[in-house]
Amino acid sequence: MKSMMKFAILFCSGFILGGCGGSTPSDKAEQNNKLSEQTDKGLKEKEVADNSIKSVKIDKLLWTAENLNVTTFRNGETIPESKTAEEWKIAAKEKKACYSSYANKEENGISFGKLYNWYAVNDKRGLAPKGWHIPSDEELTGLISISGGKDVAGGKLKEAGTLHWITPNNGADNSSNFTALPGGYRGADGTFNNITKAAGFWSVKEFDAQNAWRISLQNETSSVDHSIRDKAFGFSVRCVKD
């Protein structure tokens, strides 16, 4: 399968871009230590005007190489930020777009990108930069397939090492150059979970009125989970070139 995979790092004209289980109290100290050691991985919001994004070609598709880290829609309107759990739940109840940085800490948004609910992903004002789109479910499952299938694709997609991922980062070699980062997620109840341990990525495809498709990667396995989650969840976002 490796011989069939073609990867190239490219820089393209566009916008700017900057990760599911539950955390336990015993994880907190190690996670805090990891966060304090990390450098800024995502591109900063102030660099939006540079009109350049880092991208990676995987098979026939060009993907953004970093998690989306924007606070405005493509049309220039502001994406509402929901900081409290109550604000997050209200946005979902009203089927409105919102985002947050993990634990409401801007440094997490810079390093891992923002967490967006699915209503932001599907908003007609456009979450993806001009010339890009949120991946379809078929594009996400195709990414899994070209990366060796569900049992091993997680390792090929995850950033290697433990700069951002907590030990063990099983199977991670980033041979795809996708460089998935463990941005964690925000639950439908507004709680934050699993930064440094999990990465989740939305697709634009809904399953039903309540749920939509996404993929997730975990630090303890090289596999990929492809399943549905409540649209109220907050996950990371990657984009695909039109």
pLDDT at 43: 42
* Cβ neighbours of residue 73 closer than 8 Å, sequence gap 6 or more: 79, 97, 123, 125, 126, 127
The position carrying tokens 């950033």 is 159
Going residue by residue through the chain, which has 242 residues, state the pLDDT in tens, using 9 for 90 and above.
444 344 333 433 343 444 444 444 445 444 544 444 444 555 444 444 445 789 999 999 999 999 999 999 999 999 999 999 999 999 999 999 999 999 999 999 999 999 999 999 999 999 999 999 999 999 999 999 999 999 999 999 999 999 999 999 999 999 999 999 999 999 999 999 999 999 999 999 999 999 999 999 999 999 999 999 999 999 999 999 99
pLDDT at 51: 56
pLDDT at 5: 40
pLDDT at 41: 54
Rg (CA), the chain: 16
Closest CA to 231 of 136, 148, 122, 158: 122
CA-CA-CA-CA torsion sign (27, 38, 46, 124): negative
Indicate the pairing of strand 61-64 with strand 52-58. antiparallel
For 9, 42, 155, 210, 223, the CA distances from 215, given in Å and listed in that order, are 23, 20, 13, 17, 10
pLDDT at 52: 76
pLDDT at 81: 98
CA distance 25 to 49: 40
CA distance 239 to 73: 14
